């Protein structure tokens, strides 16, 4: 099926959503997402940040769709034409979505563990307005401990449902979900029940904001002061492929490795995440690839790698030169 997104045509298999097609083209046309997560079934359709304008429904029926549609939930039709970044109305509507997401959100960034890797911060920066029109008091909740290692800070939750999908799909005994409706809706553990199973820590990685945080990492460091390193271990419960966030020799936290869309490449178990906090527990693969625009990339790993390659090349040339010089001497 042929679909055109922001003027770029691509062939995709039947059943592909507009979002997936846009991701196949590349980050420059891919809409932002706050609730969709490719490895979690039935995710998406809650936040509306991924809206796009369908200016031509298909070759068979070229009528434009009357309203912006959620690209994560809309499948492409043959001949469909979609506008994302080139459509002023979409950008304006997305600004409204961001304002809505921030309506009840606290101004916690300076003390929030998610700062520096928060999808809402990025979204607000790229698509948000500088002010809000909301004049009412923000809703407030007490913090809740979800088990030994995870803390829920409901004030920051944007109700994306990703953590509920993790609980449903990765764990065998779901004890948390969304209670109530509308303004009163909240993620709950059905009061003080706790999540105690091997994969529950993944709720931290899928949460796009700082609502679910790792208690073992709380307030230890700003994320941009740590160095992300890819490491593996021989784990029986998961793939053992993780990212270590280190300060000197100390492992401050362990997370899944995330791809360019901010999604975990593979989910990891709680033993890897919370119990293996020594460098000797891990086989280090090397520095993680972090996107240049991320605040975390101030560690300049790419630059260091480039420098290393340059030095190695120079060393090779020097060795060769010395070898030739020696041979010449011998002749
Ligand atoms: S969740 Fe994101 S936007 Fe909200 S306070 Fe934390 S860093 Fe800031
Ligand atoms: S706690 Fe996080 S992952 Fe769960 S619904 Fe709220 S924002 Fe989404
Ligand atoms: S990412 Fe599509 S609705 Fe949230």
Residue 214, domain CATH:
3.30.70.20
Q: Both 185 and 252 in a single domain?
A: no
Q: Both 322 and 244 in a single domain?
A: no
Q: Which of 202, 218, 234 is the last residue of a domain?
A: 218
Considering only CA atoms, give the Rg of the chain: 23
SS3 of residue 5 by DSSP: strand
Q: Both 189 and 203 in a single domain?
A: yes
Whether 136 maps to a domain, the answer reads no
Q: Both 95 and 7 in a single domain?
A: yes
* Residue of 103, 112, 162, 207 best suited for mutating to test ligand 1, as the one with most atoms within 8 Å of CB: 112
pLDDT digits (tens, 9 = 90+) for 106-160: 989 999 999 999 999 999 999 988 888 888 989 999 998 888 899 999 999 999 9
The more confident residue out of 308 and 89 is: 89
* Contacts (Cβ under 8 Å, ≥6 apart) of 183: 139
Separation of CA 212 and ligand 2 centre (Å) = 7
Whether 135 maps to a domain, the answer reads no
| Confidence bin at 64 (pLDDT 50/70/90) | very high
Q: Both 74 and 91 in a single domain?
A: yes
How many domains is the chain partitioned into structurally? Answer: 4
Whether 163 maps to a domain, the answer reads yes
| Confidence bin at 191 (pLDDT 50/70/90) | very low
What average pLDDT does the structure give for the chain? Answer: 89
Q: Both 197 and 267 in a single domain?
A: no
The predicted model scores a pTM of 0.84
Residue 76 Cβ inside 6 Å of ligand 2? The answer reads: no
Separation of CA 283 and ligand 2 centre (Å) = 32
Q: Both 149 and 207 in a single domain?
A: yes
Average pLDDT over residues 251-257: 97
The ligand placed nearest to the CA atom of residue 20 is 3
- With the C-alpha atoms ordered 232, 281, 252, 208, is the resulting torsion angle positive or negative? positive
Q: Both 306 and 290 in a single domain?
A: no
Separation of CA 121 and ligand 1 centre (Å) = 6
For residue 310, what are the domain limits?
300-331
Whether 231 maps to a domain, the answer reads yes
* Cβ contact 120:158 at 8 Å: yes
Residue 77 Cβ inside 6 Å of ligand 2? The answer reads: no
Residue 3 Cβ inside 6 Å of ligand 2? The answer reads: no
Whether 134 maps to a domain, the answer reads no
Q: Both 241 and 325 in a single domain?
A: no
* Residue of 23, 43, 47 best suited for mutating to test ligand 3, as the one with most atoms within 8 Å of CB: 47
Q: Both 186 and 262 in a single domain?
A: no
Strands 69-70 and 150-152: unpaired
Q: Both 228 and 213 in a single domain?
A: no
């Amino acid at each position: 099926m042929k679909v055109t997104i922001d003027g770029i045509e691509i062939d995709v298999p039947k059943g592909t959503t507009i979002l997936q097609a846009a991701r196949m083209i590349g980050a420059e046309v891919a809409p932002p997402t706050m609730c969709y997560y490719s490895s979690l079934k039935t995710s998406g359709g809650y936040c509306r940040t991924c809206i796009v304008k369908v200016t031509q429904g298909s070759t068979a029926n070229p009528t434009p769709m009357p309203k912006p549609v959620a690209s994560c939930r809309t499948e492409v039709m043959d001949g469909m034409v979609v506008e994302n970044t080139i459509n002023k109305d979409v950008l304006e509507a997305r600004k409204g979505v961001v304002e809505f997401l921030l309506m009840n959100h606290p101004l916690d960034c300076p003390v929030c563990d998610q700062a520096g890797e928060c999808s809402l911060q990025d979204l607000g920066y790229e698509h948000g307005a500088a002010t809000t029109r909301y004049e009412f008091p923000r809703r407030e909740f007490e913090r809740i401990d979800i088990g030994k290692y995870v803390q829920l800070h409901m004030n920051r939750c944007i109700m994306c449902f990703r953590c509920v999908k993790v609980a449903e799909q990765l764990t065998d005994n779901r004890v948390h979900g969304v209670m109530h409706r509308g303004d009163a809706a909240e993620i709950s553990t059905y009061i003080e029940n706790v999540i105690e199973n091997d994969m529950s820590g993944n709720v931290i990685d899928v949460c796009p904001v700082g609502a679910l945080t790792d208690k073992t990492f709380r307030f230890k460091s700003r994320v941009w002061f740590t160095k992300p390193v890819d490491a593996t271990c021989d784990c029986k419960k998961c793939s053992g492929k993780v990212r270590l966030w280190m300060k000197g020799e100390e492992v401050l936290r362990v997370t899944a490795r995330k791809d360019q869309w901010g999604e975990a490449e593979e989910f990891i178990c709680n033993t890897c995440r919370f119990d293996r906090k020594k460098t000797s527990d891990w086989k280090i693969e090397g520095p993680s690839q972090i996107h240049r625009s991320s605040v975390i990339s101030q560690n300049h790993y790419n630059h260091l790698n480039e420098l290393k390659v340059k030095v190695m090349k120079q060393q090779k040339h020097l060795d060769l030169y010395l070898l030739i010089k020696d041979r010449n001497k011998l002749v």
